[in-house]
Amino acid sequence: MLIPLLVALATLNPVGHINDFVHLLKPETVANLEQTLKDFETRTGNEIAVVAIDTHGPDETIESFAVKLFEKWGIGKKGQDNGLLLLIARDNREMRIEVGYGLEPIITDIESSRIIREVLTPAFQAGDYDGGVTKAIERIMGDIGRGEPPPEKNNYWPIIIFIIIYLLIFIISRKKFRVVWFPGPPRGGGGFGGFGGGMSGGGGASGKW
C-alpha cells in the first residue's frame, strides 16, 4: 500500500499563484486561474495564492501550517500586506483562508467563513474542486474590487466603533494628549512567482468537507 507523500513545509516553493502540488485541479483550470490572478495582481496590486497539498501532517494544524507558509512565501506586497492564501489539505479534507493585514478589513473572518461554508464546502463535497476554487476566487476578487465585504445582517459594529472613536477624540481633545506614533519593525519576506514580502494578520477562517 502506497503511503501518500507528506509535503514538508521547508520544501514547498511557489511556482506561481496556483500551486497544486497534488493535482487536485484540472490543468486547464490551473492555467485559467493563474492568468486570472496574474491579471488581478497587475490591475490591483493584491496577491492571491492557492495551494493544494496532501496533508499538513500530524504536528501541524491547518491554521499553523497556513501561517507558516504565508510568512515563508511572503504573499502580498511588502509594507502593504495585501495578500491572501487559500490552502487546501486534501487528505485532511480541510481548507483555510489566511488573510494579510492589509486585506483584513475587506476579507473579514466572517466573509472568509461564508466563502468556505457557502462556496467551497458544497462544491468539494460534490467532488467539484475546480468549480469550488474558481467560484471562491471570483468571490474574493469581487470583494476586494468593491473595497468592502458584503453587508452583514444586524451588524452593529460600525456604530459601536464610531461611538468609541468619537469618545476617544473628545477625551483627547479635552485633555490635550499628545499622540506619538512608533513605527513597527521592518517586515521581511518575499518569494518567487511575484510575491513581494507581505505578512499574515492571522485573520481568516478554516473548514472541513
Helix, coil or strand: residue 87: strand
Q: What is the pLDDT of residues 114-157, one digit of tens each?
A: 999 999 999 999 999 999 999 999 999 999 988 755 555 555 56
User: 205, 26, 28: which is closest to 129 by C-alpha?
Assistant: 26
Whether the predicted pLDDT of 39 surpasses 90: yes
Domain boundaries, the chain: 9-151+185-208
AA letter at 33: L
Closest CA to 91 of 56, 130, 128: 56
Give the pLDDT confidence score for residue 159 in this predicted structure: 66
101, 48, 77, 46: which is closest to 197 by C-alpha?
Answer: 77
66, 204 contact by CB (below 8 A): yes
* pLDDT reported for residue 162: 66
pTM for the model: 0.75
Q: How confident is the model at residue 170 (pLDDT cuts 50, 70, 90)?
A: low
According to DSSP, residue 180 is labeled: -
More confident residue, 175 or 158: 158
Higher pLDDT, 86 or 7: 86
Average pLDDT over residues 41-64: 94
Residue 186 in this model has a pLDDT that exceeds 50:
no
List all residues 6 or more positions away from 175 whose beta carbon is below 8 Å from its beta carbon.
Answer: none
pLDDT value, residue 3: 43
Amino acid 202: pLDDT: 79
- For 122, the grid coordinates are 458544497
CB atoms within 10 A of CB 139: 18
Taking the CB of residue 36, how many other CB atoms lie within 10 A of it?
Answer: 17
- CB-CB neighbours of 206 under 10 Å: 18
Determine the CATH number of domain 9-151+185-208. Answer: 3.10.310.50
